[in-house]
Structure 1
């Protein structure tokens, strides 16, 4: 066999090996992110240790530290992982919505489902103990989420379902700040308030502030359909 052919085959074998190795690393890292994400959502960030993550995944700490050098790095990557999932889910909702009210009604359902899964201490833990992860969340909130709310409000105004005098940017920023406030144990102590009920009360108040008379009628129709679907 010519020398050039042997060298080419050798390069191909090395490339295939590296490709397979990268896939294994990627799969392992994805598994860690999914497992840590589940734990953080359920218990908050501070109360979950690297030992807990390794135990949950039936993985050695050595393997865990091969992919993430410390807990702070893991938390940061989990936040990115969560944001990617949120954007994908919101994108599907927005694409399927037939109007602005349908869109915000479907987003409310997503929010309810998320509220059942999230530990109220999560944002506090990020803010106090994980600066980089908190900065990523703040950027996601101020750019992506605020942008989506602005788009929804402008769409609703054009369709006649929202009040024309609304300032979309002001209300979008207000909405995100209120969402963050709901997580505060100082404002809504868990000993006195049900977290999910507070979320839904605040959301309902916000939506009714947007709706025109035409929009209120449509929103009530969606609510009636939802009640009928649950009663079947």
Structure 2
């Protein structure tokens, strides 16, 4: 039952927002009493924390599998973007915004975990691209990995990128292209443009 509650809560949080969904909503959706939820999760904060942790671990495992599939580094970034968006329901910015605003400690903890995970992945991706002649060999990997993470974090800010004006999928795709065009060699640009045609 604990796992079922976690799955349902995560699904509802991502669809409707971490603040918008109440414990009553989850209980009603599952056809159980609120008391049953509290037997497994002492508070809504505890459920939000468990939900974000579970989601982070699911996405981390999926990213690891994509990396192990040994795609070229440009394809790898496209695959990771698609996988993450699918798991975050096309990354509706509202839930992320609500998490940051109403659960700042949980949001900060999650961001730090994301940075640890993503920092290593991006540096490895950059090195692979340099080795294959797809990325410029003079780029500063430590700095570029931080630029990339900072950008990925900021494009989720609903106040800057109002989802009613800027569709999340378009923002994500444009940002990835922006990142790659800055670091690719002519060989990498050719590969990127082939992928953009395929994904358009």
Considering only aligned residues, what root-mean-square deviation do their CA atoms show, in Å?
A: 1.8
- Aligned-partner Cα distance in 2 for 1:200–1:151: 21
Corresponding residue for residue 211 of structure 1 = 184
Change (3 A) 1:90 1:68: same
Q: Does 1:160 align with 2:125?
A: no
Gaps of 5+ in 2: none
Gaps of 5+ in 1: 1-27, 228-232
Could you tell which deviates more after superposition, 114-123 or 185-194?
A: 114-123
- Aligned-partner Cα distance in 1 for 2:75–2:166: 29
Change (3 A) 1:64 1:132: same
Alignment match of 1:136 (pick from 102, 109, 114): 109
TM-score, with structure 1 as normaliser: 0.79
Count of aligned pairs: 200
TM-score, with structure 2 as normaliser: 0.91
Could you tell which deviates more after superposition, 69-78 or 185-194?
A: 185-194
Change (3 A) 1:112 1:204: farther
TM-fit CA distance, 1:33 = 1.0
Give the alignment of 1:189-208 within 5 angstroms: 189-208=162-181
Please state which structure has a larger fraction of its residues in helix.
1
TM-fit CA distance, 1:115 = 5.8
- Aligned-partner Cα distance in 2 for 1:122–1:177: 19
Could you tell which deviates more after superposition, 96-105 or 81-90?
A: 96-105
Q: Does the 8 A contact of 2:63 with 2:80 survive in 1?
A: yes
The answer to which structure, 1 or 2, has the higher relative contact order (CA under 8 A, 6+ apart) is 2
Q: Does the 8 A contact of 2:119 with 2:145 survive in 1?
A: yes
Could you tell which deviates more after superposition, 153-162 or 116-125?
A: 116-125
- Aligned-partner Cα distance in 2 for 1:50–1:84: 23
Name the larger-Rg structure.
1
1:165 aligned counterpart, secondary structure:
coil
Change (3 A) 1:203 1:225: closer
